Structure formats: C-alpha cells, structure tokens
Amino acid sequence: NAGVTQTPKFRVLKTGQSMTLLCAQDMNHEYMYWYRQDPGMGLRLIHYSVGEGTTAKGEVPDGYNVSRLKKQNFLLGLESAAPSQTSVYFCASSFEGGPYEQYFGPGTRLTVT
C-alpha cells in the first residue's frame, strides 16, 4: 500500500505559468481534499471531493481548479500562477461515513517567482 502519493515533490513556476498537481490514493477512499500550508496559518482547505465526478469549494478556492475523473485521483490545477500561491500543498483522503480521519500525502513544495 502506497497510501497517498503526490506528484511532483517540488516545482518552481514563473508568474502566469500553469501546472497540475496530481494526487493518487490506493485505499479506495471516497473523499479527497487539497490543502495549502503557509507559515503561521495552519492548513487551509482549497477544494474537496466527496466522490468520483464531484468537487466542492473549500476555504480558499480562488485561482485553483480541481477534477476527480477517477476515484483514486484528484488533480489540482493552477491556470495562471501568482507569487501568492507559493506554498506547500497537501492532498488527503478519508473514508465515507465518518469520523473522517484523514490520510495525507507527503506534500508538494511550489514556488512562484
């Protein structure tokens, strides 16, 4: 069991460039989440999904899009990167039906210059 994996681990973008972060889980979890972690601000939810083909906005969705075409994958897209999107991005997943303990990936460190 690989658990939750994230690709890539590191990335540097120039302002205005686009990219997609990939999250994959092999635990057959229904729910998946994307967070960003910034110093002193804890974890903030960007988008989440409660099942294949569904997505919903979290606390800080602006500037990001997501897709959940397959149950095991959850993609996070940045269409036009901005320096304010410099952060560490974490993907997580959980079983349906509670208590919703989350399993996290190792993170992607993104720098936008």
Partner 1 sequence: GNSVTQMEGPVTLSEEAFLTINCTYTATGYPSLFWYVQYPGEGLQLLLKATKADDKGSNKGFEATYRKETTSFHLEKGSVQVSDSAVYFCALSDWNAGKSTFGDGTTLTVKP
Q: CB-wise, 19 or 44, nearer to partner 1?
A: 44
Q: How far apart are CA 93 and CA 102, in angstroms?
A: 5
Residue 61 sits in the site that holds partner 1 (CB under 8 A): no
Q: Which of 20, 70, 100, 113 binds partner 1 (CB under 8 A)?
A: 100
> What is the dihedral sign for C-alpha 69, 38, 2, 22?
positive
Residue 74 sits in the site that holds partner 1 (CB under 8 A): no
Residue 34 sits in the site that holds partner 1 (CB under 8 A): no
Residue 14 sits in the site that holds partner 1 (CB under 8 A): no
Q: CB-wise, 48 or 64, nearer to partner 1?
A: 48
Least Cα distance to 20 among 30, 34, 31, 32 occurs for: 34
Piece of 39-47, 61-69, 70-78, 79-87 that binds partner 1 (CB under 8 A): 39-47
Least Cα distance to 63 among 28, 27, 5, 13 occurs for: 13
Least Cα distance to 58 among 69, 68, 43, 72 occurs for: 43
**Please, how many CA atoms are within 13 Å of residue 56, restricted to the half-sphere of its CB?**
11
- DSSP at 83: G
Q: Which of 48, 64, 78, 112 binds partner 1 (CB under 8 A)?
A: 48
- Binding positions for partner 1, rule: CB under 8 A: 4, 31, 33, 40-43, 45, 48, 50, 58, 90, 92, 94, 96, 98-107
